[in-house]
Amino acid sequence: MKKIITCLFISCTSVAMAQDSLFNDSATDQVEKKPVRIFNALKAINAKTTEVVGKGKMEFNVTHNFGDIGGKFGGIKNFFGLDNAVDVRIGFEIGIGKKLDIILARAKGASSQSKLFETGIKYQILRQLESDPSHPIALTAFVNAVVATNTSATTENVDNSYDDFSDRLSSTMQLIIAKKIGKVSLQLNPTLVTRGHSISYDDKTIFAMGGAIRVPVFPNFNLVVDYFHPFRSQESKDSFAAQAVPIKFYDPLGIGIEIVTPGHVFHLNFTNANEILENRFIPRTTNSWSKGQFRWGFTIARSFVLWRPKQKS
């Protein structure tokens, strides 16, 4: 299954890149058409978007997830989750090309795999163009590699039972497909997560289908929702449910408000996902909205110009 999905990922990327090159070559002597800005930020809530930073620019972003608002670990005793910082990610996304970003980040982590370093690339294969039926969608590829640097457990068969360096590694491959229809932005995020180490009865490789929608409410004020459904094997679900302390997994769902100001995009998020990285929240969301196990979080992003691309003469 992993090999099939990987081949499909590479094939789709290659075909789309060839298509993009063909369009660019045929339009060399024409005025470049304006691309559609489908989302205002590089992320919806949990999901990456098709947007890239742009050549010569860098975005510094901070994402913060607090503790449960309700349930056993929420309520007034923990100030509705604000007393706890379950996960924090500080990242830099640098545009080294017009359509190519590199990603460097550090995340706290919210479970037995923590102190996470992330590197990644994001390439915008196609852009939706205004009044151009040959470019009706945007298509972006995202790949990352994450290493957990926390101490290895002394017990066996837990998430951080690291025998060697490869056990600390995980990766995400994602094709992000988006389209703006009128003022509404829609997106799909087919995702593949692979892990160097997992508990013996868990799936090392998990495919998930994600999606996002952005709906404007007022000027510079938008409603954003995203969702992922991991296709975990029934055998894995049954094994976790049969443990002395049963574990049930839930689909990550995020609902947020986006506020756009000059130079900043501010997100006020609510999600049942503890962790921020795809490598962790897709295989490891055990919180339920219906039990009050969702949290307040936020993302603040600020863009900088590192260098100005040379103007064509």
Number of Cβ atoms within 10 Å of the Cβ of 155: 8
- Of the CA atoms within 13 Å of residue 313, those in its CB half-sphere come to 0
Residue with token string 């010569």: 56
User: Quick one: pLDDT at residue 104?
Assistant: 98
What's the pLDDT score for residue 265?
A: 80
Distance CA 58, CA 301 (A): 10
pTM of the model: 0.86
pLDDT at 312: 64
215 HSE (CA, 13 A, CB side): 7
Q: For 31, how many CA atoms within 13 A lie in the half-sphere containing its CB?
A: 3
109, 280 contact by CB (below 8 A): yes
In order along the chain (313 residues), what is the average pLDDT of each group of 10 residues?
48 45 42 84 95 95 93 86 92 96 96 95 95 90 98 92 96 98 97 95 96 94 97 95 94 94 84 96 95 91 87 64
Token pair for residue 161?
A: 């039972």
CA 206 to CA 174: how far, in whole Å? 12
Length reported for the chain: 313
